[in-house]
Amino acid sequence: MSSPIPRRERLRQATLDEIKRTAHAQLAELGAGGLSLRGVARAMGMAPSALYRYVESREVLLTELAADAFGSLADALTDAFDAAPADRHMDRWLAVARAHRRWALDHAIEYALIFGPQVPASSYCEGRVAQELRRSVTVLFRCMSEAIEADLVDASHVDAELTPTMRASLRAWSHDHGMAVIGEAEMAVCLAVWTQLHGFLALEVFGHLPMALNDPEELFDRQMADAFAQAYRQEKAAGPRAPVGG
Domain ranges for the chain: 1-55, 64-231
- Cα dihedral sign for 66, 70, 75, 76? positive
C-alpha–C-alpha distance, residues 18 and 44, integer Å: 8
pLDDT at res. 242 = 41
User: What whole-number distance in Å separates Cα of residue 186 and Cα of residue 170?
Assistant: 10
CATH placement of domain 64-231: 1.10.357.10
- Mean pLDDT comparison of 115-119, 140-144, 219-223, highest-scoring range: 219-223
CB 130 within 8 A of CB 147: no
Q: Do domains 1-55 and 64-231 have the same CATH topology?
A: no
Q: What confidence score (pLDDT) does residue 1 get?
A: 52
Counting beta carbons within 10 angstroms of the beta carbon of residue 167, is it exposed (0 to 12), middle (13 to 18) or buried (19 or more)? middle
Cα separation, 52 vs 36, whole angstroms:
12
Question: Residue 26 in contact with residue 35, Cβ under 8 Å?
Answer: yes
Is pLDDT at 238 greater than 50 in this prediction? no
Domain 1-55 has CATH 1.10.10: yes
Q: How does pLDDT run across 161-216, given as a tens digit for each residue?
A: 899 999 999 888 887 766 666 788 888 888 888 899 999 999 999 988 887 677 89
Q: Where does residue 107 rank: exposed (0-12), middle (13-18), buried (19+ CB within 10 A)?
A: middle
Average pLDDT score over residue span 29-33: 85
Instruction: Decide if pLDDT at 71 tops 50.
Output: yes
pLDDT of residue 2: 63
More confident residue, 64 or 153: 64
- Percentages of the chain per state (helix, strand, coil), in multiples of 5: 70, 0, 30
